[in-house]
């Protein structure tokens, strides 16, 4: 079973300004992003039992200031956030169709695309982490040369005892081509200890015909622990060389499916950082995900964060 040198965690990626519909042309400003959503939930779940940081790059403007201040107020380590004098945060607007959402993005000049601009700062941020979490979106927003800087920092951190978790979270429109996806994902899997893929992505990108295919492919890449999310279907887990399948409880009252996978990741990784088994971590991930999809938005109200022993 994958263990950790400490419970301290760093999540790496992009947070964006979110404009969420409130009705009749009115929108509420918030902040969201896949690895940010996961880090934020973990920080609330661990509630001071470990340090949780979000490594990103934002601007020098008031919106960026508000984002950093919100993170600090919510208990995250903001010392791993760097600033860009030329760029600011990306933005997206949400359209709702029942419980499903569609998104309109303005992110091409996002400051987070330069998050490896100071490779030394990134390596330093990783230094005390027991776990470093990233996603396919983290990779997709970076130019190829900057990905190499990130990979070098991850390799150094792993050599010093850190573990790496990775959610492939493939968004094809963020990548220049599927060839780039096929080239890059194996590179990061070689640096990954815990993988949290979604089966529908793996079918679309790699042609997997079953979650067992996904487990086998990740294991062949050297990943020790894999939990395959499959919507309302069972979660398939590989740990200690054993495969287990755990049913996903039915969820009623679904209001918004945004952030379901990020919520699962948060519950799973929180439980693992607290020393729980992968099977127990799946249950925690399912509880988080179920709560998220019963509420609007990708992040839960603090009072509804599932408790962890």
Phi first, then psi, for residue 59 (nearest 5°) are -85, -165
Q: Which residues pair with 133 in a beta bridge?
A: 11, 165
Q: Which two tokens stand for residue 122?
A: 């990134």
**Of 20, 44, 60, 110, the residue nearest 298 (C-alpha):** 20
129 C-beta neighbours (distance < 10 Å), count:
29
How far apart CA 271 and CA 225 sit, in angstroms, is: 14
Phi first, then psi, for residue 96 (nearest 5°) are -105, 140
Active-site residue, from 34, 193, 208, 262? 262
Q: Which two tokens stand for residue 171?
A: 């968004």
Rg (CA), the chain: 18
CB-hemisphere CA count at 13 Å for 19? 15
Known catalytic membership, residue 262: yes
**Based on the number of CB atoms within 10 Å of its own CB, is 155 exposed (0-12), middle (13-18) or buried (19 or more)?**
middle
How far apart CA 99 and CA 293 sit, in angstroms, is: 9
Phi first, then psi, for residue 247 (nearest 5°) are -65, 150
Residue with tokens 């994902």: 185
Spacing of C-alpha 281 from chain mean position: 16
Residues assigned a catalytic role: 262
């Amino acid at each position: 079973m994958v263990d950790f040198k400490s419970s301290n965690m760093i999540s790496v990626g992009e947070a964006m300004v979110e404009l969420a519909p409130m009705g009749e042309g009115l929108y509420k400003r918030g902040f969201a992003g896949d690895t940010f959503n996961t880090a934020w939930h973990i920080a609330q779940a661990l509630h001071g039992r470990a340090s949780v940081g979000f490594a990103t790059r934002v601007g020098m403007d008031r919106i960026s200031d508000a984002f950093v201040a919100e993170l600090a107020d919510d208990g995250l380590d903001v010392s791993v956030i760097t600033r860009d004098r030329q760029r600011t945060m990306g933005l997206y607007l949400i359209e709702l169709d029942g419980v499903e959402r569609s998104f309109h993005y303005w992110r091409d000049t996002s400051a987070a695309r330069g998050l490896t601009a100071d490779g030394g700062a990134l390596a330093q941020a990783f230094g005390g982490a027991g776990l470093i979490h990233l996603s396919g979106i983290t990779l997709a927003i970076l130019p190829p040369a900057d990905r190499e800087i990130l990979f070098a920092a991850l390799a150094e951190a792993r050599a010093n005892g850190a573990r790496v978790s990775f959610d492939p979270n493939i968004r094809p429109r963020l990548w220049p081509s599927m060839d780039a996806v096929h080239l890059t994902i194996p590179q990061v899997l070689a640096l990954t200890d815990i993988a949290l893929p979604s089966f529908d992505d793996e079918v679309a990108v790699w042609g997997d015909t079953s979650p067992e295919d996904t487990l086998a492919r990740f294991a062949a890449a050297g990943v020790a622990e894999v939990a395959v999310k499959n919507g309302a279907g069972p979660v398939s887990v590989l740990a200690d060389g054993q495969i287990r399948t755990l049913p996903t409880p039915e969820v009623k009252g679904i209001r918004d499916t945004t952030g379901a996978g990020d919520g699962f990741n948060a519950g799973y990784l929180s439980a693992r950082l607290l020393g729980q088994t992968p099977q127990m971590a799946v249950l925690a991930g399912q509880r988080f995900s179920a709560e998220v999809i019963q509420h609007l938005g990708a992040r839960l109200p603090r009072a509804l964060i599932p408790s962890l022993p």
